[in-house]
Amino acid sequence: MHEKTSRLPARAPKAVRKPNLPGLNGRSVRNLSQVKAVRVVRRNFLASLAALGVMVTAGVAVPAYAQSVAESQMQGQVPEPQVVTVVAAGPDLVVVRDSYTVVAPPPLRWPVDSLTISSGFGPRTSPCAGCSSYHQGVDFDPGYGVQVHAIAAGVVVETSNPFYTELGVHVSIEHVIDGQKIVSIYGHMQYGTMSLKVGDSVKVGQIIGLVGSTGASTGPHLHFEIRVGGTDAVNPYTWMLARLG
């Protein structure tokens, strides 16, 4: 027995309804293009700001990092001290620092290099006619013709011709040492070796003559005096030794 099947016609799919939009005219298209352009510019601007922020952060962080590393490396290290030794009686001091050189002459030096004393300061038996019984200086015996040097920078305040006094060929130089007026006197030098005159300026260590035996003298030597304030004679050896060692 066959059942009779009724077939219903298939339904057609519903059509999707689209809203009726008015067509875009030329002005609307231009407006949309401008909006897109503004969005692109805005994105590029924001991206540039972000990149600039990264660059600034890196520029600040790198030096700070470098400084931190340098500081960490320096921890526990003590810089070596710079030491300059000044020898007052030696030659000119040469100080080299970085890329420049400074030549600093010593402020004070001995009048001769050999300090052998043949007659000391103070009371003594007069060794010759015209020689003093109270010696106001010391006699150094470095040898005939040895160079005599100014002990410090100063100005000549007295000179004498060879036959004027018992000191023979001599010169007196005024200095300011340790803020005090000091006069140094050099006697018995050779004829023709002392050419200074009153008012001349001299430098420390300048050669002012040669050891001789002029004036009241028993042999070649340098008579050397120190007068504090220009008048008061003191033991020149101990005075110099206290300053030069």
pLDDT (0 to 100) of residue 31: 54
Give the three-state DSSP class for 80.
coil
Q: Where are the alpha helices (DSSP H) in 75-204?
A: none
Strands (E), the chain: 93-97, 100-104, 117-119, 122-123, 134-135, 138-140, 147-149, 154-159, 169-177, 180-189, 201-202, 207-210, 222-228, 232-234
Q: Which residues contact 136 (CB under 8 A, 6 or more apart)?
A: 121, 225, 233
Question: Which domains, ranges and CATH numbers included, belong to the chain?
Answer: 117-244 (2.70.70.10)
CA 8 distance to own-chain centroid: 116
pLDDT (0 to 100) of residue 125: 73
pLDDT (0 to 100) of residue 87: 39
- Which residue has tokens 């952060």? 57
pLDDT (0 to 100) of residue 214: 92
pLDDT (0 to 100) of residue 160: 80
Identify the segments of the chain with pLDDT beneath 50: 1, 21, 24, 29, 60-66, 68-70, 72, 74, 78-79, 81-91
